[in-house]
Structure 1
């Protein structure tokens, strides 16, 4: 293995691992804000108990997400220094705003929410979690703006003198057409994931004999989570349809690779199952829907979708074949076809399973149904978070791997993005150390979640009513958990 291959493996492992926490953080912050608001409006104790219970799980996830996210920045300096130098002028603004505005908004108001149960007026305390959620949305927007620029570079000038892309239009970067469809797609996926997580945890406790006395409480949580997962799943489908059409416009090779479509055709089919060579050179569809890929990519069942082979020739003519070109290294300009093909299908398939499972949970726990089939509720609920996390992970893999061989589409290949001064030993050492570290963190994360989930929601304890002007108690803020 050379440095490039090691660096790609390390980036893939760390990025996919970190992205396990991101959608759950975004979605759970919204659900916690909703639960606490419902408690304020109804004063039903079940909503407060669920708020505090899932608040513990949210804090565990937030902490692990924060730790794993920090390593992302160090990666760029260690293994991808040429990439960092090339994109630094463009990425500097959105990532700085994300750190200085969005993350500080999240962390500040999360601290107030955690320690302010007996210090802040109830409405103000609930508002803190809404501001945390707003911070997660802002954070996601700025980070996705940077990523969308990699998919579709706009608002920049290529300075040949120093070999860097320089931003000339901040708003073009912020409102990139790829960004405008990617952001709602990711946020809807986050709501779906958090809803599936809430429904899954509640389903486990619902069927547990140890928590039999609290079944009405967990039935409420199942239904709230299932509604969020269903709405999020439908939002993912709608936003994904728009995203597919923009992707076909700006990254036609990615759409062709998603289907293994080698020749340009109208009424392009979408194969549910295909058998082919592992190198992606040949593919034989087993089950396919005629014209569906054309509709996904163009909005018409008769729309033309460019194939892999003509696109390869087009890119070779456009970008050349000189391997010594600084930022236009040649290749066949196509990603690993099997990875793009299957990750695209797993992304879509698992997302549909989550939405369907959420709908089934709502039906099984509907009002008037006295004896739902406990086994089905338990297994279906517990499987939903796994499927949701899998759908997110495969979606991220497709997004990044489908762009290959480009680090920045049309401007810089991944081969030219790697750090020139890093040795194989250094790259391999960092890969092994970070992978082992992340394995330890995974054990800690799962252990903490299992511990607090098994305990279940704490008994109801009324929070003190703090007047709007505050109180005269000078005690420091207390950790509520």
Structure 2
């Protein structure tokens, strides 16, 4: 493998690993905020206990997400310096806002929430967690704005003197039509993860404490998580449908690769199962739904979807136009032999994303059914439901990102810069291998720490109720301390 391949592997490993924590953090921050608000409204001890319990799980994931997220921005300078030099003016602006505005908002008020028990007024304290949640959502918005520019570059102009793309309209970048459909899809999928996580954890604890006085608390939390995941999943389906139509408009090759559609077809079918050739040049559909791909891409079952073979020529022509327009002073636009993404990876990542999402919906519906009328699931089969259901939407999110990024290849910025053009010219294959292996090893250690911490606090369950001290009784001179 050359430096481009290894750099791509490194970025894929670190990004997918980091993104495991992102939807959990967004979803759990909403769960904690809701439980905390319910405590203020009802003063029921169970709500305070669940607030602190889910708060611990949130903090574990937030810490790991923070540590692993820092690495992402370093890679732009280490392995992708030509990319950063060419589009850094546009790509860096929303990332700067994410760090200076959104991240500081969530981290500052999370600290106040952690140390604020009994020190600040209760309503203000609960409001801190809502601000944390708003901060996580804003972080998602700014990061997705940067990524949406890579999918559909807007709001820029090319400077022939510097050979760089420069910001021309920041509002256009923030309101990119790809961004406007991607953001609700990603956030609602994060809510789906948060609901499934609290459902799975609470279901496991419900089986464990099914005959104790804590059973009603865990049953309510289980059903709350299942409802949250189901409602969010319906929003994911709707936003995903809209996103598919925009994707077909701006990146027709990605939609064609998602189906393995090689010839332009009207009333194009969607295959549930397909077998392709080893070189990715053709596909045999075994199970298919007529017209469904046309509907997903165009909104009509009779719509025409362009095939890979026809799009190859238009993609190459687009690359040649870009190279001719920018001239040799760009020096970074590397033309490639094939403008088709890896079809098997694009095809199956699309289906894993949808399949795991629908599996989550089915599991949540089953849990709501079995826990009705104060029911407690006794079969050991439900242990697997409790364990696997939270993992399903997490991996569905990951497969969705793999599809989004792999389906754009060989472009790093679609129609503007190929991936081969963005790699750092002075970084050797050996250097990238060393950094990739080092990061992978560190992340493996962090994974063990994360899983052990998470499982330890899940097994403990919610702590016994302790009546919180009033703000008026707090000793303002006492040192801050935090122990979970």
Q: What TM-score, normalized by structure 1, do the two folds share? A: 0.96
Q: What displacement does 1:377 show?
A: 3.2
After TM superposition, the structure 1 = structure 2 runs for residues 73-472 of structure 1, keeping only pairs within 5 Å, are: 73-208=73-208, 212-320=212-320, 326-327=332-333, 329-366=335-372, 368-467=373-472
Residues 319 and 416 of structure 2 are in contact (CA less than 8 Å); yes or no, is this contact kept in structure 1?
A: no
Residues 207 and 375 of structure 1 are in contact (CA less than 8 Å); yes or no, is this contact kept in structure 2?
A: no
Residues 86 and 163 of structure 2 are in contact (CA less than 8 Å); yes or no, is this contact kept in structure 1?
A: yes
Q: What displacement does 1:37 show?
A: 0.4
Q: Deviations over 1:194-233 (max 9, x none)?
A: 1111111111111126984422221111111111111111
Q: What displacement does 1:319 show?
A: 1.9
Q: What displacement does 1:355 show?
A: 1.3
Shift in alpha-carbon separation, 1:381–1:34, aligned structure 2, 3 A: same
The whole-number CA distance in structure 1 between the counterparts of 2:476 and 2:431 is 55
Q: What displacement does 1:454 show?
A: 1.1
Q: What displacement does 1:318 show?
A: 2.7
Q: What displacement does 1:301 show?
A: 0.3
Residues 26 and 133 of structure 1 are in contact (CA less than 8 Å); yes or no, is this contact kept in structure 2?
A: yes
After TM superposition, the structure 1 = structure 2 runs for residues 53-92 of structure 1, keeping only pairs within 5 Å, are: 53-92=53-92
Shift in alpha-carbon separation, 1:160–1:331, aligned structure 2, 3 A: farther
User: The residue matched to 1:361 in structure 2 has which SS?
Assistant: helix
Residues 94 and 146 of structure 2 are in contact (CA less than 8 Å); yes or no, is this contact kept in structure 1?
A: yes
Q: Deviations over 1:66-102 (max 9, x none)?
A: 0000000111111111011111110222111111111
Cross-structure match for 1:27: 27
Is the deviation greater in 437-446 or in 87-96?
Answer: 87-96
Shift in alpha-carbon separation, 1:115–1:442, aligned structure 2, 3 A: same
User: The residue matched to 2:146 in structure 1 has which SS?
Assistant: helix
Q: Deviations over 1:8-60 (max 9, x none)?
A: 11000000000000001111101100010011111111111011011111101
Q: What displacement does 1:118 show?
A: 1.5
Shift in alpha-carbon separation, 1:472–1:456, aligned structure 2, 3 A: closer
The whole-number CA distance in structure 2 between the counterparts of 1:2 and 1:212 is 60
The whole-number CA distance in structure 1 between the counterparts of 2:375 and 2:408 is 51
The whole-number CA distance in structure 1 between the counterparts of 2:364 and 2:156 is 43
| Structure 2 residue 482 is matched with structure 1 residue 479 | yes
Q: What displacement does 1:158 show?
A: 1.4
Q: What displacement does 1:331 show?
A: 2.6
Corresponding pairs, count: 478
Q: What displacement does 1:476 show?
A: 3.0
Task: Provide the aligned C-alpha RMSD in A.
Answer: 1.7
The whole-number CA distance in structure 1 between the counterparts of 2:458 and 2:22 is 20
The whole-number CA distance in structure 2 between the counterparts of 1:382 and 1:447 is 14
- Segments of structure 2 that go 5 or more residues without pairing to the other structure are none
The whole-number CA distance in structure 2 between the counterparts of 1:214 and 1:332 is 60
Cross-structure match for 1:15: 15
- Segments of structure 1 that go 5 or more residues without pairing to the other structure are none
Residues 103 and 139 of structure 1 are in contact (CA less than 8 Å); yes or no, is this contact kept in structure 2?
A: yes
Q: What TM-score, normalized by structure 2, do the two folds share? A: 0.96
